[in-house]
Amino acid sequence: MKTFYTAGHTAHVPQEEFEAGRMTPAVEVPARVETVRRRIAERKLGPIVEPTDYGLAPALRVHNSEFVAFLQTAHARWAQDHPGVDAIPSVFAPQITGQRRREVMARDSTSARLGQYCFDTGTPITQGSWSAAAAAVNIALSAAQAVRLGDAAAFALARPPGHHASTTQFGGYCYLNNIAIAAQFLTDTGARCAIIDVDYHHGNGTQEIFYARDDVLFVSLHADPAFAYPVYWGFADEIGRARGEGFNLNLPLPIATNWQGYREALAAASARIRSFSPDILLVSLGLDTFALDPICRFQLQSEDYLRLGATLAELRKPTVFVFEGGYNLEHLAENTVNVLEGFAAA
């Protein structure tokens, strides 16, 4: 299995995030990817390949152009008045429309646009955020292209993650939605795509992007938003809208879910994917479902990730894995490679 990776992600180095009323050390750090890359090489999983540069066009098939332009220039603008400080919103855009909204946005204020385009206080824009986010998109697209051209599977070791980023907003450590951009790229070539998100947190951005569409299926297993981020999205009654009704399946799970409970939800997810009959499966591969993850509350063990990989392989579809969350640096590499090896061995 090819792994697509670039060292460009190391340009994005958040120092702190604002969480629960205080600044805390960032957990979405370069070491997450580097420890996985080393383990892939040690286990000889397959070649580690530099991605191709696809430019901005694929991202603009998914994201609003003004939003993308903001991400490109936000830190440079912010640094003019806040040198040495990451950009974090201090106020969020109220639900105003019409002339007042036009007046506010006409000021071209970075603070105002941060509050418009970001939905949390835990996703700082650093000097290297844009270049890293653009590189992550190229990684996901390169993995998607490899599978489109005949590889049985490919792994996009991409950072920053992407599944919380929506058409017009970033948050949840995500700036551009890597897996949604890859799915749209494949759809544009005529492939029928299904996305399964196994991250602890609901992929609200991916859901929003495809919510009114019937050509891409989105299925997510995640912690119930009644107690977990992203709080406002991920409930079971969110089934899609208009043409997309019935093409969005959320499977929220309780605190302390272990493999037995997770396996049952995974079986339901697999059944829906089979009925959709995709040409290509894309996996938002979050490993924060691990029992020792510092910010999450499930109980999966390292050996369970072998089972997860094997279960995904049973769908018998060309598969693109895209790296998302997972914050226990001691076990993250083992758990990630276990999924990929479980898949390959099935």
Q: Is the bond preceding 230 in cis, omega lying within 30 degrees of 0?
A: yes
Single out the catalytic residue among 9, 164, 202, 222.
164
129-148 helix and 65-81 helix, angle to the nearest 10 degrees? 150
Half-sphere exposure of residue 125: CA atoms within 13 angstroms, side-chain side: 29
Name residues whose C-beta falls within 8 Å of residue 261's C-beta, 6 or more positions apart in sequence.
Answer: 253, 254
CA pair distance 157, 204, nearest whole angstrom: 21
202 a catalytic residue: no
Q: Find out whether 159 and 176 touch, Cβ atoms under 8 Å.
A: no
Name residues whose C-beta falls within 8 Å of residue 137's C-beta, 6 or more positions apart in sequence.
Answer: 54, 58, 59, 158, 162, 176, 178, 181
DSSP string over 88-140: --SS---S--HHHHHHHHHT--HHHHHHHHB--SS--B-TTHHHHHHHHHHHH
Position of tokens 């844009």?
A: 130
The residues assigned a catalytic role are: 164
